[in-house]
């Protein structure tokens, strides 16, 4: 019981970090355009992230049951995956880089599971057809391919939507445009916060559900008092109490803010007006909602960042500070392999030191 409690607590630490690390995803633009003050924007993000986190479990199922062979996963494996993801999340937050918490967790889980299987790459579920739904599942269709495609969609869709708005409103005065989009950006920021919660909070839900399933199969819950029977998980299932505790934890993390990353996304990359913020948030939130419906653990960081790039490029290509973008891209590219490396060697180190968890 001590071990499973430890794993759940560390998972919630990751969820808290996810909250303050990814707060920028839903509020950077609304702060930079001065539609809301920082405290108001954080409050909006807390409420909408909380509501979104309670909506659906498709992404949680992908994380907990669709990327690695679960019979090679132990509680120690899950712990090492979380440690790798937390280290990377804190490191990129310190440098103000909008990296993906989703990919950090996935990379850590794959690396730690690979170590548990003594280097047997077959434990990674690269691509397979789910017999129940006849849909493609696995690391390639649900993580790697969307990681490549979603930033391209973000740039192109952001550019096109912004271009459409500029043509539509070309005869309007800047004052009228700003007045209208000051209000509309509240809607788009709320949509973005809801979408972020729908996708991001579910990653930790999946990890906790996987931990409970693993602990049940390992016999850890034998002799458990009746009042703790809610912990027993004979099949992979995301219970309501898991949804509540994860969504509340991410909301608290969101309230803590992530001002280093907000400055990068909202101020350093490109100068935005309310109409640009509306276009970027609407583009990103729509793509995230589609991904969540299909159980794709999309990086909200990637999609909002590239949407901002696409929107900013409608001003002129040089309006986007591509040096900042280059730093961000390196963080994106390195996230999966780095966290896989951290998860792998954390597991190996525990084995070498004979830390039996």
Write down the pLDDT at residue 309.
85
Write down the pLDDT at residue 314.
87
Domain regions of the chain by residue span:
2-352
219: exposed, middle or buried (Cβ count in 10 Å: 0-12, 13-18, 19+): exposed
Q: Is the pLDDT of residue 138 over 80?
A: yes
Reported as a pLDDT band with limits 50, 70 and 90, residue 120 is very high
Q: Is the pLDDT of residue 258 over 70?
A: no
Of 19-28, 124-133, 265-274, the range with the lowest mean pLDDT is 265-274
Q: Does this model's pTM top 0.75?
A: yes
Single out the residue of 19, 172, 141, 87 nearest to residue 346, CA to CA: 87
Write down the pLDDT at residue 81.
94
Write out pLDDT tens, residues 40-58. 888 888 888 888 877 777 7
Exposure class string for 89-98: b at 16+ Cβ within 10 A, else e = beebbeebbb
Find out whether 290 and 226 touch, Cβ atoms under 8 Å: no
Write down the pLDDT at residue 339.
96
How confident is the model over 16-26, as a mean pLDDT? 74
Write down the pLDDT at residue 270.
65
How confident is the model over 208-213, as a mean pLDDT? 89
Of the spans 11-20, 60-69, 342-351, which averages the highest pLDDT? 342-351
Is the pLDDT higher at 320 or at 314? 314
Q: Kindly report each contact of residues 152-156 with a partner whose C-beta sits within 8 Å and lies 24 or more positions away, as own/partner.
A: 152/306, 153/287, 153/303, 153/306, 154/283, 154/284, 154/287, 154/302, 154/303, 154/304, 154/305, 154/306, 154/307, 154/309, 154/310, 155/306, 155/307, 155/309, 155/310, 155/313, 156/310
Reported as a pLDDT band with limits 50, 70 and 90, residue 3 is confident
Write out pLDDT tens, residues 163-174. 999 999 988 888
Q: Is the pLDDT of residue 318 over 90?
A: no
DSSP of 193-255, one letter per residue? HHHHHHHHHHHHHHHHHHHHHHHHHTTTTTT--GGGGGG--SS----HHHHHHHHHHHHHHHH
Write down the pLDDT at residue 303.
86
Find out whether 273 and 106 touch, Cβ atoms under 8 Å: no
Single out the residue of 246, 217, 212, 214 nearest to residue 231, CA to CA: 212
């Amino acid at each position: 019981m001590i071990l499973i409690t430890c794993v759940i607590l560390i998972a919630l630490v990751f969820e808290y970090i996810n909250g303050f690390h990814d707060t920028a995803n839903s509020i950077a633009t609304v702060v930079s355009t001065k539609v809301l003050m920082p405290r108001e924007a954080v409050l909006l993000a807390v409420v909408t992230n909380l509501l979104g986190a309670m909506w659906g479990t498709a992404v949680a199922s992908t994380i907990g049951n669709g990327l690695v062979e679960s019979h090679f996963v132990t509680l120690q494996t899950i712990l090492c995956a979380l440690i790798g993801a937390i280290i990377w999340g804190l490191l990129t937050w310190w440098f103000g880089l909008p990296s993906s918490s989703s990919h950090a967790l996935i990379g850590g889980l794959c690396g730690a599971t690979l170590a548990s299987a003594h280097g047997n790459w077959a434990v990674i579920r690269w691509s397979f057809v789910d017999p129940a739904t006849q849909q493609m599942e696995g690391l390639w269709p649900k993580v790697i391919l969307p990681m490549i495609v979603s930033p391209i969609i973000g740039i192109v869709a952001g550019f096109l939507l912004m271009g459409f708005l500029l043509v539509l409103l070309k005869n309007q005065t800047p004052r009228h445009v700003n007045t209208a989009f000051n209000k509309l950006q509240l809607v788009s920021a709320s949509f973005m916060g809801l979408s972020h919660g729908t996708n991001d909070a579910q990653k930790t839900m999946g990890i906790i559900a996987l931990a409970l399933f693993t602990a049940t199969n390992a016999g850890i819950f034998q002799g458990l008092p009746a009042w703790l029977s809610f912990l027993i998980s004979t099949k992979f299932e995301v219970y309501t109490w898991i949804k509540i505790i994860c969504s509340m934890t991410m909301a608290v993390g969101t309230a803590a803010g992530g001002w280093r990353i907000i400055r990068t996304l909202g101020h350093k990359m490109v100068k935005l007006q309310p109409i640009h913020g509306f276009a970027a948030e609407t583009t990103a939130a729509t793509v995230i909602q589609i991904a969540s419906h299909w159980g794709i653990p999309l990086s909200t960081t990637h999609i909002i960042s590239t949407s901002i790039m696409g929107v900013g490029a409608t001003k002129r290509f040089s309006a986007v500070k591509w040096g900042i973008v280059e730093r961000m891209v390196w963080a994106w590219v390195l996230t999966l392999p780095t966290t896989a490396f951290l998860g792998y060697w954390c597991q190996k180190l525990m084995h070498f030191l004979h830390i039996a968890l």
